[in-house]
Amino acid sequence: MNGKEKKYTELMNNIRALVEGEDDIISKMSTIACEIFHEFDHMNWVGFYRRTGERTLKVGPYQGGHGCLVIDFDRGVCGRCAREQKVQIENDVTKLPYHIACSSETRSEIVLPVIKNGELIAVFDIDSLIPDAFDETDEKYLTEIAGLI
């Protein structure tokens, strides 16, 4: 198990213990965003955009710098994730024409769909200050974490 996997395993255990028995989605999203943001120094934004309409996402619980309030399904990496309902890993967002730059310091990003009872209810967005920060290890553990919502 490498350092990243070890961190995620511990994080998973903490988050599981914290949200166990909780059924409020916003409380769980808040706790997840907080725990992850404070675990990894390279992350500058960790949080959720909630689906509030057929093709609309609105910012939800997050930690980090400014996040735009509304994202249409047609825009950004978050919109693409919502449309495709597939994990998006972007190694260099500076080369991505459709990326919405909430911070000019962001270099890479992962966005995961949050699906409950077969419906997309949110996307889970994490931004990093370093290029190429996310890989299949992040995808694996973050998918598991998103599944707790």
Q: Which residues bind ligand SME (CB under 6 A)?
A: 45, 67, 71, 76-78, 99-100, 102, 109, 125, 127
Q: Smallest gap, in angstroms, from Cβ of residue 31 to ligand SME?
A: 19
Q: Residue 12 is encoded by which pair of tokens?
A: 């998973």
Q: Smallest gap, in angstroms, from Cβ of residue 100 to ligand SME?
A: 4
From residue 122, alpha-carbon distances to 25, 33, 57, 87 in Å are 10, 13, 7, 12
Identity of the residue, 6 or 38, whose beta carbon is nearer to ligand SME in the bound complex: 38
Do the Cβ atoms of 125 and 114 come closer than 8 Å? no
Of 91, 107, 87, 112, whose CA–CA distance to 33 is shortest? 112
| CB closest to ligand SME, residue no | 76
Q: Smallest gap, in angstroms, from Cβ of residue 114 to ligand SME?
A: 15
Q: Smallest gap, in angstroms, from Cβ of residue 116 to ligand SME?
A: 21
Identity of the residue, 102 or 145, whose beta carbon is nearer to ligand SME in the bound complex: 102
Question: 137: buried, middle or exposed (CB in 10 Å: 19+, 13-18, 0-12)?
Answer: middle
Identity of the residue, 71 or 145, whose beta carbon is nearer to ligand SME in the bound complex: 71
Identity of the residue, 76 or 113, whose beta carbon is nearer to ligand SME in the bound complex: 76
**Length of the chain, please?**
149
